[in-house]
């Protein structure tokens, strides 16, 4: 790759992707677009490319870039706070930003990989396949369903165009601290336990989530350029773990023995169960997660400990 556009590149997953692309393709020119509402400049320490600070829904791509300027586009820009219930802002920014990308990229059909979400599945009770019917429980999830709809529509107009959607499950790992209350439960519990406090989780701690480490997510995102066709893939670990298991793994990594403190879940739209069927990504992308929950938390805690001590 000679040139790459990454929207949302100062965010959590975006910054990890940008820095990995820079490592793998040191001669490539990487352009980040981010309005820094959901991202942070510190995530891009060591970045050697270009950074454009603007809302993706408002950027005039035709004025800024020539047609065919990029070999690949990774579209991760989004309002990611699921507790932000401003429907107009969520739908406008998330959907129109993607429409802007597709309208411009359709001229030369530059490959586009975009971030969808496991939130589109809603309160499913069983393992989620790409064919599981969408059932968004909040406006964030609704906006991601619209991205999937747009991708299908543009692909129908341009059948040879590779537009790949990735339904990320419960991602955790380095460079998420700026998200604060929207950061992963793993990060939030680490902060509590590191301070010697009991980890606070929802009653009775048996909610199960597919926790996937950001390094695996970045690998799947890069592999998606090799997809045989335009389609959507689940990106998770392929396993579900309870919040109690998460606390136990954190205790092991921190060398603590803190018991959970339970409280009632205040969110009626909360997904109590997620687990990705990743067989399609395994088959077509050769995606093989390298981190289970224990190994991911251990690696992450090591990184966090180094960050706080430096």
Active site residues: 140, 179
| Spatial CB neighbours of 201, under 8 Å, sequence gap ≥ 6 | 185, 189, 243, 244, 246, 247, 260, 261, 262, 263
Beta bridge partner(s), residue 170: 211
Torsions phi, psi for 186 (to 5 deg): -65, -45
Sheet-wide strand order for 29-33:
50-52, 29-33, 3-7, 72-75, 112-117, 163-168, 232-235
Q: Residue 36: which region, alpha, beta or left (left: phi > 0; alpha: psi -120 to 50)?
A: left
First to last CA, the chain: 34
Regarding beta strands 241-242 and 208-209, do their DSSP bridges make them parallel or antiparallel, or are they unpaired? antiparallel
Cβ atoms within 10 Å of 66's Cβ, excluding its own: 9
CA-CA distance, 299 to 213, in Å (whole number)?
Answer: 9
Rounded Cα–Cα distance for residues 92 and 292 (Å): 36
């Amino acid at each position: 790759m000679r040139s790459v556009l990454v929207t949302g590149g100062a965010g959590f997953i975006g910054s990890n992707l940008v820095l990995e692309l820079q490592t793998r393709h040191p001669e490539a020119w990487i352009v980040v677009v981010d309005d820094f509402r959901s991202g942070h400049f510190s995530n891009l320490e060591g970045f050697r490319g270009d950074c454009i600070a603007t809302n993706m829904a408002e950027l005039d791509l035709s004025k800024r870039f020539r047609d065919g300027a990029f070999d690949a586009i990774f579209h991760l820009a989004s309002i990611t706070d699921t507790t932000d219930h401003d429907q107009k802002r969520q739908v406008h920014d998330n959907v129109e930003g993607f429409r802007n990308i597709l309208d411009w990229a359709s001229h030369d059909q530059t490959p586009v990989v975009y971030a969808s979400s496991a939130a589109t599945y809603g309160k499913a009770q069983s393992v989620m396949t790409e064919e599981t019917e969408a059932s968004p429980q909040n406006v964030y999830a609704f906006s991601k369903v619209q991205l999937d709809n747009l991708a299908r529509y543009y692909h129908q107009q341009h059948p040879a165009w590779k537009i790949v959607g990735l339904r990320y499950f419960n991602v955790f790992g380095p460079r998420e601290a700026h998200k604060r209350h929207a950061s992963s439960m793993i990060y939030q519990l680490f902060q509590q336990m590191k301070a010697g406090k009991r980890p606070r989780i929802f009653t009775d701690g048996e909610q199960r989530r597919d926790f996937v480490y950001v390094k695996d997510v970045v690998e799947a995102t890069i592999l998606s350029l090799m997809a045989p066709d335009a389609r959507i893939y689940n990106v998770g670990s392929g396993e579900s773990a309870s919040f109690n298991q998460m606390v136990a793994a954190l205790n092991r990594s921190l060398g603590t023995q803190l018991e959970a403190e339970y409280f009632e879940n205040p969110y009626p739209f909360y997904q109590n169960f997620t687990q990705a069927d990743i067989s399609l990504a395994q088959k077509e992308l050769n995606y093989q997660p390298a981190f289970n929950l224990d190994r991911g938390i251990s690696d992450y805690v090591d990184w966090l400990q180094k960050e706080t001590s430096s």
